[in-house]
Structure 1
Amino acid sequence: MQRILFVCTGNTCRSPMAEAILKNKQMDEIEVRSAGIYAANGNEASAHAKKVLEDNGIAHKHRSSLLTRDEIDWADLILTMTSSHKMAILQQYPQVGTKVFTLKEYSGESFNPDVVDPYGGSLAMYEQTFRELDELIDKAIGKLK
């Protein structure tokens, strides 16, 4: 069983969408969670994130959670939405350097390491982020196999 943890800032937009996308691919050998570097525990995903997931036929119950040592230890692979998320994890948990990557880095994207944060943006921005995450996750799955 491969355990994957997606990490973003508040755990209400990008990382829960990534978690939902990967879960929706129904890969029995993968367990997935998400967390946020600065998340408040218990918040729902943003309204636009929920709408985009719903529009793409993905049901996902989500409550935000703060990134903790337990989550770090649980994960075999930690995929962050930005290079600053990656650096924050490495500063606090330097021993996990071999299992932390930006999602783009892990997926083989070398141009810009960051998935744009749609927080506070339009539904169209969330749709664009969803499409980007779906594509990156497909590439990451190819690497996992």
Structure 2
Amino acid sequence: MIRVLFVCLGNICRSPMAEAVLRHKVREAGLDDRIVIDSAGTGDWHIGKSPHEGTRRLLDEKRISWEGIKARQVAKEDLRKFDYIVAMDNSNLGNLQSMARELGNGSAPKLYRLLDFVPAQQLENVPDPYYTGNFEEVYDMVDESCDAMLAKIMGDLALPEK
């Protein structure tokens, strides 16, 4: 079983979008019994809330389910539990790296930025649509990155791409 955690600031825009998109792709690939996806935020402002209405509206338009996704805060245990921990930006990555240092157990979790999966992407950070309002731009980045990430995971599982 491969476990993936997406992390952003409040866990209502970017990371739940990535969670829903990758879940959709994993389901379409018939791998939902092999790959578990979750999301969390570094902040605690939105714990228990559904994704932002801009994220929900866009996912609804794309016919991608966001059912059951509720905001939560990332915890130190997550760094031990997940195989891929994917930050949306450098700030989120820095927070995760600090948490990993606090664990001090010598086994560093696999920490990535989402856009690391698309080497041709010139940006490092997925902009936060909570502030920019550009949910479509974020969706395009998430969609492309999730395709590349799923291909990597399938390679790690030694599965043929579909």
Q: TM-score, normalised by structure 1?
A: 0.90
Report the CA distance between 1:110 and its aligned residue: 5.8
- How many residues are matched? 143
Question: Could you give the per-residue CA deviations for residues 105-136 of structure 1, whole angstroms, max 9, x where no partner exists?
Answer: 134356321011100443xx111211210011
1: distance between equivalents of 2:139 and 2:93? Answer: 20
Contiguous gaps of at least 5 residues in structure 2? 155-162
> What amino acid does structure 2 have at the position aligned with 1:65?
R
Question: Could you give the per-residue CA deviations for residues 3-32 of structure 1, whole angstroms, max 9, x where no partner exists?
Answer: 000000000000000000011111322100
Identity, % of aligned positions: 29
Which residue of structure 2 aligns with residue 19 of structure 1? 19
User: After the TM superposition, which residues 83-94 of structure 1 pair with which residues of structure 2 at under 5 Å, given as runs?
Assistant: 83-94=90-101
DSSP 3-state at the match of 1:93: helix
Which residue of structure 2 aligns with residue 60 of structure 1? 66
Whether the aligned pair in 2 keeps the contact of 1:107 and 1:143 (CA below 8 Å) is no
Which residue of structure 2 aligns with residue 138 of structure 1? 147
Runs (4 or more) in structure 1 with deviation over 3 Å come to 95-98
Q: TM-score, normalised by structure 2?
A: 0.81
Report the CA distance between 1:69 and its aligned residue: 1.7
1: distance between equivalents of 2:95 and 2:120? Answer: 21
Report the more deviating stretch, 111-120 or 94-103.
Answer: 94-103
Whether the aligned pair in 2 keeps the contact of 1:90 and 1:96 (CA below 8 Å) is no
Report the more deviating stretch, 83-92 or 16-25.
Answer: 83-92
Aligned-pair RMSD on alpha carbons?
Answer: 1.6
Question: Could you give the per-residue CA deviations for residues 57-97 of structure 1, whole angstroms, max 9, x where no partner exists?
Answer: 01212210000122222101101000111111111212564
Structure 1 or 2, whichever has the larger Rg, is 2
Contiguous gaps of at least 5 residues in structure 1? none
